Chain A
């Protein structure tokens, strides 16, 4: 049950663990931008150009993969957890592959990879799917790096700090932070609770594993309804407790945990900025530059 949440915090003390959460969040966003930046030039006509930009994309993604691999090794993130969190994505990948195949492109003979009965499967269908797959793996990797090296509490503080400017447009940033940290706090509790309910329902003869869709739906309902009930009770108890301990969302509060910025964090931030600069630069001139390079060779 616990494996559902990918990248649970692992209690090591690596250089990645010690980075300020704000830097890690910014870094994660930059990596995501790099991963999802569309590099294929729109309107490219020549097949050669398209092939080149596809190749460039894979090279860039390969570089990102290598960097993230190094980060994972430094942060001592288990590779098994990455595989586990990929588990739910296979279905989507298959769906994407199916869509790519079924979109009629009528590939010419040289664009066709192989024939599946009457269906011609083009290289581009395979590439697009592979492209999505690689991107997904990279996203899972980078989020795992952040979530398994940062305590949920610190992550919340980081998010809250970064959202601070939104306060001036009347967005209740502090409340959002409190909501996130309470949600994170109660995930394990709700997991235990649902396990408990499942066991007690199973002892009454509810079968969660077998049966037709309708029966499965019924047994899931027997989990969901009590879980909702108990969550509401929990929420109301929690609200009472918070109020009784003097919590007032509108009032000023002090902070127990402070984020402390160290010079290494500045260094990391500079590295991230350089990385972002390179990504943008190669996005602007990248494809042409690569073409030029290839021509010279």
Chain B
């Protein structure tokens, strides 16, 4: 890899990671000394990639997310965000370019109304008060919450609250958006709305890097890349078709593969070539041709 000449910021000598949004280099972390939570994790996420992070409960996914935004700091190894090393001192600065949406819709609603919750982010960014109203409206419209600006959280559904959280996160204009099981507590309709919203955002801004921690296997299939975590270690990494072509190994760590991949694998040889399909709809389309 070539090194840029005008590189001043990186004091310590590290390879040029300017292509990557997130780089983990041999990172370990534990909450309690006897049980390591993350062990020697290394991976790279390119800028603009849509990455799904899957793994069973307790495998360390949320811990990994908290390391990326620097709420937790790694105990060994290096983390680079946008080519800059994450340390205690740089965490606050680097975090400005990262947004995260957590699982529980109630626990991340800070303001007393939708308006105030979105404004919370702007207040922290020291945006002038006069400019806030327009920005709030713009982002509320993006997440389809314009009609609920004065609603209180107790009168909103889980999906609506998560959309507000997304607005409050996107208004900070992040390069990296992390969803830590953001749809886990929502009904199917709410889930669909959130995922469609995220894909819409991603289409509008191709440079946005999305890291989606999810149990929705079908959703993971839409990602550019899947990282499988198991007991604090990377179990598998690759494109969705690569990862899901190992159903036996995945079932060993009690992870499933999407129904349509199962089906297309079974259909191999008996039917048309269906190995490239990316969703149930595609599969039906190919088969009905």
Contacts and interface: CB of A to CB of B under 8 A. Distances in A.
Interface of A: 151-153, 181-182, 184-185, 188-189, 192, 233-234, 237-238, 240-248, 251-258
Given A244-B69, A246-B124, A256-B132, A234 B106 contact: yes
Contact of B119 (A184, A246, A256): A256
B104 interface: yes
Which of A153, A189, A238, A240 gathers the greatest number of chain B CB atoms within 10 Å? A240
A246 B123 CA distance: 9
Interface residues of B, number: 41
B92 interface: yes
Contacts of B267: none
Given A252-B126, A254-B127, A256-B132, A244 B100 contact: yes
A185 B110 contact: yes
Contacts of B98: 244
B126 A258 contact: no
Interface in B119-138: 119-129, 132, 136
A185 B106 contact: no
Given A185-B111, A237-B102, A257-B116, A243 B71 contact: yes
Interface string B75-119: 000000000000000001001101110101011111111011001
A156 to B, nearest CB: 9
B104 A253 contact: no
B59 to A, nearest CB: 19
Given A189-B153, A192-B154, A246-B95, A241 B123 contact: no
Given A240-B102, A244-B95, A244-B99, A258 B107 contact: no
Contacts of B136: 256
A193 B126 CA distance: 34
Nearest to A181: B112
B116 A256 contact: yes
9 contacts: A153-B112, A181-B112, A184-B112, A241-B108, A244-B71, A253-B126, A254-B126, A256-B116, A258-B129
A254 B123 contact: yes
B129 A255 contact: yes
A248 B120 CA distance: 12
Contacts of B125: 246
B112 A248 contact: no
A79 B165 CA distance: 38
Contacts of A181: 112
Contacts of A153: 112-113, 116
A245 B71 contact: no
Nearest to A245: B121
A178 B152 CA distance: 18
B168 interface: yes
B172 interface: yes
B110 A245 contact: yes
A75 B107 CA distance: 34
Interface in B162-200: 165, 168-169, 172
Nearest first, the 6 closest Cβ-Cβ pairs linking A and B are A256-B119, A237-B107, A246-B124, A241-B108, A188-B154, A244-B100
Contacts of B165: 241
A160 to B, nearest CB: 13
B187 to A, nearest CB: 17
Nearest to A188: B154
A182 B120 CA distance: 12
Contacts of B95: 243-244, 246
Contacts of B110: 182, 185, 238, 241-242, 245
Given A233-B107, A245-B121, A152 B154 contact: no
B154 A245 contact: no
Contacts of A189: 106, 153-154
Contacts of B96: 246
A241 B119 CA distance: 14
B260 to A, nearest CB: 34
Contacts of B119: 256-257
A256 B154 contact: no
B66 interface: yes
Contacts of B132: 254, 256
Contacts of B66: 240
Nearest to A241: B108
B69 to A, nearest CB: 5
B90 to A, nearest CB: 14
Nearest to A151: B112
